[in-house]
Structure 1
Amino acid sequence: MSDVYAEPATAGDPTDPATLARYTTLRLGGPAGRLEIAGNAAQIVLKVQEAEAREQAVLVLAGGSNVVIGDQGFPGTVVLVRSRGFQVVAEDGDTVTVRVEAGEPWDDLVAATVERGWSGLECLSGIPGSAGATPIQNVGAYGQEVAETIVAVEAYDRTRREVVRIAAADCGFVYRGSIFKYSDRWVVLTVDFRLTRSQLSGPVRYAELARALGVEVGDRVPLADARATVRKLRAGKGMVLDAADPDTWSVGSFFTNPVLPGEVFEQVRERAADLGQPPHWPGADGTVKVSAAWLIDKAGFGKGYAGPEGVAISSKHTLALTNRSGTASTAALVALAREIRDGVQSRFGVTLHPEPVLINCTI
């Protein structure tokens, strides 16, 4: 198998194979063997099939907001998803189902649903990336996650070599994961969301958001208020992309909140007895979700903690690892992530797991 490299392109040309850093919010990533741009679902399928015919590995990349690519890059074909738009495919008096192209910028979609009085995505405002990435990670924030509104995902099945429709019940949604995250078998093409016709949000579930809105948990608020407040909260944590703010040059939360068996959580509480009560959320099955940000901070890695080459924990949020210098290597970021993971393990006996997809790198 041989790699196919395009000739060097002019500056600013999106097909320039020099580096994948320009396509990730971390501004990290080495060269691609070949870059292909797909403007619609049919082109996505075609580009993947052509790469497979060349016996090349394939990486499908859209917003690049939840991926960490190694310094060696990706030697196969990178398909840049640039499909856009959404359409109503079903509706009744109470709900509307929208089919969204995989490359549609996520926050643009959320803004459009809020403007139209469609409730269900408002608390996911300000999240970078594309709509097609949301089922992969089961994206969630401030008490909402996409598994609650996704009806189905249309994907290209690389094993069967055909486009399939996967019902939400078959997507294997779990906390920050799905069947799409743990296998490269499927390439997401479109996502169907069923939203509620309402000018009010769903019940506010997240205490921090309720406080910011000046309401009680369980109350409903105007959609526009929910969206504006979520964006303000996220911006205050460096979680809304800003080209002028190095704190946003990240993948958002780098580690997931660990979900622990009850007895393990009690051990963590004992080890943290001198630090106060760790923020936690009991689950119906006896497990307990614990704040990764708290564990990281109490293990000695506070906001602004610096690693090599200008990588650092965000000065606004402990969960975000940033390429503050804009010139760091992926190896440097991975070294910082590994230091944090090992420090938390040593202090609390809990192993943190990365939330983004790691390509040709590992912690």
Structure 2
Amino acid sequence: MADQQAPAETSLAVQENVPLAPYTTLGVGGPARWFVSAQTEAEVTSAVAFARERGLPLFVLGGGSNLLVSDAGFPGVVLHIGLRGVREEVDRGGDPVYVTAAAGESWDDLVQFTVDRDLQGMECLAGIPGTVGGTPVQNVGAYGQEIAQTLVSVRCFDTATNALVELTNADLGFGYRTSLLNGAERGRYIVLRVTFALRRCDGATVRPNLSYADLKRAFPEPARPTLIEVAETVRKIRRGKGMVVDAADPDSRSAGSFFRNPIVPADALRTVAEAAGLAESDVPHWPAADGQVKLPAAWLLERAGFVRGTVLGQAGISSKHTLALINRGGATQRDIAALREQIVAGVRQRFGVELEQEPVNVG
């Protein structure tokens, strides 16, 4: 981790009382008291200084795909990260290929950049909304891949030391949907750019990742799909679940999966099975660290009576994906929160399992 002096302060365009709902995929939330859109590292450091000098809280906004913003908005400074740029560097030996992307780049555009160049490692993460800077925060993953598998380093602004730092993969301490950035040091580091190590797909020793069941069904042996074909298939699967942002699809007005798959002690599996009237072997689960098990949150919701299409006022559950809570049109944060609380209480009462919200609460 190498510290560097932060860029000199620059002039800053600060807006007041900017509505945040349009900056989120869920489409709810009040205004930011102060709003800055940063296009350079210098503007990021200036925005931090602006907030600090006035004793204001700071929130860093990327693509807004994993947020639940309060109806009252945010009383401090919202820093919208707009840094752009992608570059590719080949290792002396030709493998791996390093791809570095600025935090404000569209994540799905970056995935397309890599598959167009036959670079393996991101193809299963296609169609995920949001920006590059948000992906290491919660170790974004889907369809058999996660950020931790390819991330090399993250360039950040350290608000505690007012310096630029490089955090390595090991520094970030990745876990299931967790990292240093949303754990022990939440709010300390502002991601500026991310570097990934990818491998050139040759169709023989380096192939697309087809470990996920949906992809195995889409490409049964002896199929040898290209990375582009895998990425497009993942997008098609996600689109069928309302998980690709599309103005024409009301089910996509969400924050993605609203609940994490809970990790519970192994003996809790018996309790869940008894509550469901099933044998333990019939309850879907996967092994987790320290002898625990991971349960599918969607299965728990459905068994507790919260099925696709459930409606509560202007909030609801997607008709395509049990875990997506949606804004049916004109919903408020309070509406979404009321549905969340009903679901959490219902699953707790039925199975004794506590669900955790995945989107970040703002304000």
Q: What TM-score results when the alignment is normalised by the length of structure 1? A: 0.90
2:288 maps to 1:283: yes
Which residue in the other structure is 1:209 paired with? 215
Select 1:321's aligned residue among 310, 313, 325. 325
Which residue in the other structure is 1:349 paired with? 352
Equivalences for 1:172-251 in 2 at 5 Å?
172-182=173-183, 183-200=186-203, 201-215=207-221, 221-251=225-255
TM superposition shift of 1:283:
3.1
Distance 2:173 2:351 in 1: 30
Number of equivalenced pairs: 344
TM superposition shift of 1:319:
0.3
Which residue in the other structure is 1:338 paired with? 341
Partner-residue secondary structure (3-state), 2:72? coil
Distance 2:201 2:277 in 1: 46
Equivalences for 1:262-301 in 2 at 5 Å?
262-274=266-278, 277-283=282-288, 285-301=290-306
Question: Does structure 2 conserve the Cα–Cα contact (< 8 Å) formed by 1:88 and 1:99?
Answer: yes
Unaligned runs of 5+ in 2: 1-13
TM superposition shift of 1:228:
1.1
Partner-residue secondary structure (3-state), 2:248? coil
Question: Does structure 2 conserve the Cα–Cα contact (< 8 Å) formed by 1:260 and 1:288?
Answer: yes
2:70 maps to 1:67: no
Distance 2:153 2:171 in 1: 9
TM superposition shift of 1:267:
1.9
Which residue in the other structure is 2:5 paired with? none
Equivalences for 1:105-184 in 2 at 5 Å?
105-182=106-183, 183-184=186-187
Q: Cα gap change, 1:112/1:60 in structure 2, threshold over 3 Å: closer, same or farther? A: same
Structure 1 range deviating more: 97-106 or 266-275:
266-275
Question: Does structure 2 conserve the Cα–Cα contact (< 8 Å) formed by 1:213 and 1:229?
Answer: no
Distance 1:220 1:154 in 2: 36
Question: Does structure 2 conserve the Cα–Cα contact (< 8 Å) formed by 1:199 and 1:223?
Answer: no
> What is the percentage of aligned positions where both structures have the same residue?
47
Question: Does structure 2 conserve the Cα–Cα contact (< 8 Å) formed by 1:119 and 1:199?
Answer: no
Question: Does structure 2 conserve the Cα–Cα contact (< 8 Å) formed by 1:231 and 1:240?
Answer: yes
Distance 1:178 1:193 in 2: 16
Question: Does structure 2 conserve the Cα–Cα contact (< 8 Å) formed by 1:120 and 1:196?
Answer: yes
- Kindly provide the amino acid, as one letter, of the partner of residue 337 in structure 2: V
Structure 1 range deviating more: 285-294 or 44-53:
44-53
Distance 2:316 2:52 in 1: 38
Structure 1 range deviating more: 274-283 or 295-304:
274-283
Q: Deviations over 1:29-79 (max 9, x none)?
A: 111111111112332222222221222111110100011111111011111
TM superposition shift of 1:17:
2.6
Question: Does structure 2 conserve the Cα–Cα contact (< 8 Å) formed by 1:204 and 1:220?
Answer: no
Question: Does structure 2 conserve the Cα–Cα contact (< 8 Å) formed by 1:311 and 1:333?
Answer: yes
- Kindly provide the amino acid, as one letter, of the partner of residue 237 in structure 2: L
